[in-house]
Every structure is written in C-alpha cells, then in structure tokens.
Amino acid sequence: MLICLILYLSTDTLLAFKSATLYCIGQYIFIIMSILYQSPRPFWNSAEIHAYPNYCYFDLASPSLAIFNAVFFINYNIHMYFYKYTPIVYLPVVIGLYTLSLLYFIILASAMRTHGLLYLFQIVVSTLFSLVYLLICIKFDNEIYKLCEKVGFIVKASRKFKFY
C-alpha cells in the first residue's frame, strides 16, 4: 500500500486509485480463497523442516499473497503506466520491465519453495489465479476506469456508486 500511496502522490491519481482499488479487491478475494482452500504450509507437514519460533508464518499458504503481488500488482502497473495510458510506448522499456518482473517472480517463487513456505502446486495455483485476475482486470479496464472515476473523483454522483 505504500507503493500505491507513492503512485497516488507522484503520478496520475486516477490510475493510482484504480490500481490500489483493484489490488485491495484482489487481496480480499485471495484471503477468502485461502480460507476456503485451507492449504497448509510445508513446514507444518514435514518434520525435516525446522521452523524457528516466532519467525515462521502460521497463516494459510494457498493462494499466496506474495505471489499475487509479484504477478498481479507489478505487471498491472507496468501495463497501465508504460503501455496503455502513455502517449508513446517504448517497447524496449516495456519488455525490459516485464523481464525484470519475471525474474523477480522466479527468484521469489524459488525462495519460497526452498525455504519451505510454499509447495510447488501452491505456487502454480497462486500464479494461475493471479494471471486470471490480471487478465480480467485488463479486459474490463475501460469499465473499471469509468467506475473508479465515478466513485473516487466525481463527488456528488459518486454516492450511489460507492455502495454499488
């Protein structure tokens, strides 16, 4: 959320508001799904993994919010700020940012797998759910943009849209 605040203060406020709103809705969906799936972490099931007291997560693992951040939030902001809402698209910059995002995802996923925080199937499921959410948000971007504008910036007309 600190990144959302920095984006709100330094870039287009409507894009930052839309990004923060979709991010929070996605986190909410992922938390509900992790409650429904109740998938344990590897160090809960394996005696070979020794967990240090007060240093390990004791929340549910799948779908992972860290994977969601790496797959959805970073790629969505790259798409919005460097591809869709920019007057000139610099394709080498966009490809470079997506490459860095992919590299970050690979490092994060392998680190979470190596440290016993996620199973491989949990990484795959989290990635698939994040990609589906990302594609839905990109597909319905025009409608989301208009709704975010009505909710966040048009004060008198936004009263009914805030409850919607």
Residue boundaries of the structural domains of the chain? 2-163
Sign, Cα dihedral of 158, 30, 6, 14:
negative
Residue 55 — φ and ψ, nearest 5°? -115, -10
CB 71 within 8 A of CB 137: no
The mean pLDDT value for 145-163 works out to: 71
pLDDT digits (tens, 9 = 90+) for 90-108: 999 999 999 999 999 999 9
Residue 57: which region, alpha, beta or left (left: phi > 0; alpha: psi -120 to 50)? Answer: beta
| pLDDT of residue 60 exceeding 80 | no
| pLDDT at res. 150 | 81
**Angstrom distances, CA of residue 92 to CA of 29, 96, 99, 100:** 34, 6, 10, 12
pLDDT digits (tens, 9 = 90+) for 35-59: 887 776 666 566 665 556 655 555 6
